[in-house]
């Protein structure tokens, strides 16, 4: 049966050039980068070259690139790392900090700003910080203060809204570059300017701006100086690289506390033997993705708009989720009133079409999409949502086939109802 894969926002196949770049480090050059002998030196050199390659592509220094196991770890390191570094005095273990530490320092609760539709790898750490910090003597909780910004019905975070909620005690703002479910592109550079000005006005040198750029990395410019970010997350599996690897950009001078302790790898911020093959693969995939982003974005934008136009004709009741233009070129997210998202995924799969109801990270959860709900949509529309994300192999013929099959499935709902 013909298979059409439309879930590239979940993961992508490894590019053959990336496989080739990684191959020597699975066998011939297998050394530990911490070794002083020749095998170790070769591994260390390859690791260094991978770091340099990524740094050049985003306008950073090599020592600002911290290799991780992927987007989730990078987001957790960003949120928990900033939180730990923001504690009063010299403490960096927020799991054991006492309520009296804040009282003695006469400090207000550290404050974090994020958006309601962020990836759960940002939201869940923020929610955990709200709960953490119980007194060891059984006193009341005093967890971090978190503001969850509303987003417009078009899925865009307002920079002015970010500005309105900034406080002297704000230590972190985390706004994703492009949403993983609806693909809306956020005004990160504009938000970055607002945060920069706020830091100058308030002399708040602890304030850090983080963006999750996992979905944006294959299509948008990630120059950190243009974006004005201090921390940035990228994941290899979204850009035709290997799974299990990513990086966190950490601007020089920004203080974050390590969350994995042991050795002093990754500038002391992430202990553990470095997976050289994966890191080399990540750098190769990122270089290819950034080199092809303009050409591939233009191609996919045409296909995206063609498909949306076809949906409007064949399924007039379909509701597009997110901004019609300010969205990733490969992303189509729709709700079908009266339909069930999971059932549609199963029926499409039976016809050779792979897509999802939303984030693959929550595919086993029965909860409605928090992203669609954040747009102000009803629970019924959230439960009838479908995400189709194209990639390098997607053709117009693929989309014609999907439109034909999909319209037949939706028409069967009408007949049933």
The catalytic position among 126, 214, 355, 361 is 361
Count of other CB atoms within 10 angstroms of residue 107: 14
* Residue 361: active-site member: yes
Instruction: Please name which of 234, 244, 232, 229 lies closest in space to residue 289, comparing C-alpha atoms.
Output: 234
Pairing mode of beta strands 319-320, 246-250: unpaired
Residues 6+ away with beta carbon under 8 Å from 46: 25, 29, 33, 276, 279, 280
- 136-to-131, 144, 392 alpha-carbon distances in Å: 14, 17, 53
Provide the CB-side half-sphere exposure for 114 (13 A, CA): 28
Which positions are catalytic? 361
């Amino acid at each position: 049966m013909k298979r059409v894969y439309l879930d590239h926002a979940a993961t992508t196949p490894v590019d053959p050039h990336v496989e080739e770049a990684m191959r020597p480090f699975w066998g011939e050059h297998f050394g530990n980068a911490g070794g002083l002998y020749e095998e170790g030196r070769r591994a260390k050199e390859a690791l260094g070259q991978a770091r340099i390659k990524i740094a050049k592509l985003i306008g950073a220094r090599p020592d600002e690139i911290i290799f991780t196991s992927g987007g989730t770890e990078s987001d957790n390191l960003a949120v928990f790392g900033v939180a730990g570094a923001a504690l009063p005095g010299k403490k960096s273990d927020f799991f054991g900090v006492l309520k009296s530490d804040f009282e003695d320092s006469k400090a207000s609760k550290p404050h974090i700003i994020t958006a309601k539709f962020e990836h759960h790898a940002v939201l869940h750490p923020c929610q955990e910080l709200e709960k953490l910090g119980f007194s060891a003597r059984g006193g009341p909780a005093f967890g971090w203060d978190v503001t969850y910004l509303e987003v417009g019905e078009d899925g865009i975070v307002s920079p002015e809204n970010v500005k309105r909620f900034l406080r002297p005690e704000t230590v972190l703002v985390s706004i994703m570059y492009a949403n993983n479910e609806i693909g809306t592109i956020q005004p990160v550079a504009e938000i970055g300017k607002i945060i920069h000005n706020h830091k100058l006005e308030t002399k708040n040198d602890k304030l850090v701006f983080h963006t999750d750029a996992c979905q944006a990395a294959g299509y948008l410019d990630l120059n950190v100086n243009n974006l004005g970010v201090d921390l940035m997350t990228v994941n290899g599996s979204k850009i035709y690289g290997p799974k299990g690897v990513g990086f966190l950009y950490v601007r020089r001078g920004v203080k974050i506390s390590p969350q994995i302790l042991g050795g002093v790898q990754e500038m002391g911020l992430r202990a553990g033997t470095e997976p050289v093959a994966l890191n080399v693969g990540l750098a190769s995939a990122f270089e290819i993705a950034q080199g092809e982003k303009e050409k591939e974005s233009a191609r996919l934008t045409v296909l995206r708009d063609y498909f949306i136009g076809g949906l409007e004709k064949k399924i007039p009741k379909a509701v597009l989720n997110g901004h019609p233009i300010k969205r990733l070129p490969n992303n189509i997210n729709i709700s079908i009133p009266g339909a069930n998202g999971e059932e549609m995924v199963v029926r499409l799969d039976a016809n050779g079409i792979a897509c999802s109801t939303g984030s693959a990270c929550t595919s086993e959860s029965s909860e409605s999409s928090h992203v669609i709900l954040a747009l102000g949509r009803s629970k019924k529309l959230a439960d009838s949502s479908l995400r189709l994300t194209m990639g390098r192999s997607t053709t117009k013929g693929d989309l014609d086939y999907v439109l034909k099959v999909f319209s037949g499935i939706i028409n069967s709902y009408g007949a049933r109802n």
